Chains A and B, each alone.
Chain A
Amino acid sequence: MPYRISRLGLVEIRSLDLDRDLDYYLNVLGLQLTAREGKTAYMKGWDERHAYSFALTESDRAGMVRMAFRTVDSEDLDYYEKRLREFGIKFDTIPEDYRRGRALRFAAPSGHTVELYNEMDYTGNMLPTVNPAPWPEGLRGIAPPRLDHTLVTAPEPAKAIEFFQTVLEFRLSEMLVAPDGTPIAAWLWQRPAPHDLAIVPGKPGGFHHAAFVVDSADALFRAADILAMHKARIDYGPGRHGITRGTTIYFFDPSGNRLETFGGYTAYQMDPDCRAIRWTQDQIGPAVFYYSQELNETFLSVYT
């Protein structure tokens, strides 16, 4: 089975105060601003080649607006359109969005708005394409190179997991299982990385976090220093997940949305042959927080 989704292309979340939060995203997290259009700011990491991967929209609440996955080819979008029809999933065709082409928009059983698209303006990253340096000078804040994954909550995780596996053909890298074997939480992938999307139990449409790549131990501690210098609220870390082996800092934006630095240097790469790793419910502590070996009070209860 070829993989047809190249990446988690966009996460859009809500902000209670766009001016305040944009300052945080640009100067503390250190994303690059593509444009601010009315109540929405479009941003990305410095190494991302399309116009944007993260959008922040002012609202009376926090939480997720939508997640969007970019297909490998435009034919893959047609493929999924056919597939949504076959499975009887209602969807809307969005002819275009800001600097983006046609998208299919539908509601996942988890209560989230999900989009599939292929075309977005190719703007290049912050480096030249001829004889580039390894990284651009003049970055601010943590300055992650790119968006990595998102984790969301679902009232019936097994149903949501099955939807992403069956209809959208995500593969399972790891899962947390109840004693009877049913999945309580799952880590799902399309590009060869531990996950593009993860699902844990919680309210419908809940946003647990969006993660940005911070891929060396030096960069991880530097990120924690920057968060503390700016008095950002760190929820957990620096630490390591048992699941995915990724290094982590969980922290909150000023509207209370959780973000993560996720370490690609310890997280493994996937191969189409890889079989899912299972974590038993009694080992949820080390599965989530490998070093403390216990869940903290916020992991399964605090999200937007």
Chain B
Amino acid sequence: MLTAILGSGATVTFGCRGGGCGTCKMRVISGHIDHGRYSAAVLPEEEKTSGWFLSCQARALSDLTVELTAANKYRVLIWWRRLNSRGFPQR
């Protein structure tokens, strides 16, 4: 999930990318995921059952709508927008 977000030219908050620190936590609104391997210390069972997952470890099994934590921010990188709209990064 995180790789797909970063690969789309957007950025979100993330940390260790190993499922250990919990920084990249998100919540499924609709759709299905495989949680992958993650630390139960940062994603306890009750959070998991209410839809939370670690985006650096989870894989999408369908189209997804997700919610970010209050501390997180989805930003599309400006250079990526320019690259896609004009074919070459402009100043």
**Residues of A in contact with B (beta carbons under 8 Å apart):** 14, 16-17, 60-63, 233, 235, 252-258, 297-298, 301-304
User: Residue-by-residue, is B1-43 near A (CB-CB < 8 Å gives 1, otherwise 0)?
Assistant: 0000000000001011111110100000000000001111110
| In the bound complex, CA of A61 to CA of B41 (Å) | 6
Known: A301-B23, A302-B23. A63 touches B17 (CB 8 A): no
User: Which 7 A-B pairs give the minimum distances between C-beta atoms?
Assistant: A256-B20, A256-B18, A256-B16, A62-B20, A302-B15, A61-B41, A61-B39
The residues of A that contact B42 with a CB separation of less than 8 Å are: 61, 304
Contact B13 A304 (CB under 8 A): no
Q: How large is the interface on B (under 10, 10 to 19, 20 to 34, 35 or more residues)?
A: 10 to 19
The residues of B that contact A303 with a CB separation of less than 8 Å are: 21
**Residues of B in contact with A (beta carbons under 8 Å apart):** 13, 15-21, 23, 37-42
| In the bound complex, CA of A118 to CA of B12 (Å) | 47
Contact B23 A63 (CB under 8 A): no
Contact B18 A253 (CB under 8 A): yes
**Least distance between B11 CB and chain A CB atoms (Å):** 11
Contact of A256 among B13, B15, B40 (CB under 8 A): B15
Contact B37 A258 (CB under 8 A): no
The residues of B that contact A297 with a CB separation of less than 8 Å are: 13
Contact of A255 among B15, B19, B23, B40 (CB under 8 A): B19
| In the bound complex, CA of A235 to CA of B23 (Å) | 14
The residues of A that contact B38 with a CB separation of less than 8 Å are: 16
| In the bound complex, CA of A3 to CA of B20 (Å) | 36
**Nearest CB to that of B44 among chain A residues?**
A61
Contact of B18 among A60, A62, A298, A301 (CB under 8 A): A62
| In the bound complex, CA of A60 to CA of B16 (Å) | 16
**Least distance between A195 CB and chain B CB atoms (Å):** 23
| In the bound complex, CA of A303 to CA of B23 (Å) | 9
24 contacts between A and B (CB under 8 A): A16-B18, A16-B20, A16-B37, A17-B37, A61-B20, A61-B42, A62-B20, A62-B21, A62-B39, A63-B20, A233-B16, A233-B17, A235-B16, A252-B16, A252-B17, A252-B20, A255-B39, A256-B17, A256-B18, A256-B21, A301-B15, A301-B23, A304-B16, A304-B41
**Nearest CB to that of B56 among chain A residues?**
A256
**Least distance between B40 CB and chain A CB atoms (Å):** 4
| In the bound complex, CA of A252 to CA of B17 (Å) | 8
**Nearest CB to that of B36 among chain A residues?**
A16
| In the bound complex, CA of A256 to CA of B22 (Å) | 9
| In the bound complex, CA of A255 to CA of B42 (Å) | 12
Q: A14, A235, A255: which has the most chain B beta carbons within 10 Å? A: A255
| In the bound complex, CA of A252 to CA of B18 (Å) | 8
**Least distance between B12 CB and chain A CB atoms (Å):** 12
The residues of A that contact B39 with a CB separation of less than 8 Å are: 14, 16, 60-63, 255-256, 304
Contact of B41 among A17, A63, A233, A258 (CB under 8 A): A63
The residues of B that contact A255 with a CB separation of less than 8 Å are: 18-20, 39
**Nearest CB to that of A17 among chain B residues?**
B37
Contact B20 A257 (CB under 8 A): yes
The residues of A that contact B20 with a CB separation of less than 8 Å are: 16, 61-63, 252, 255-257, 304
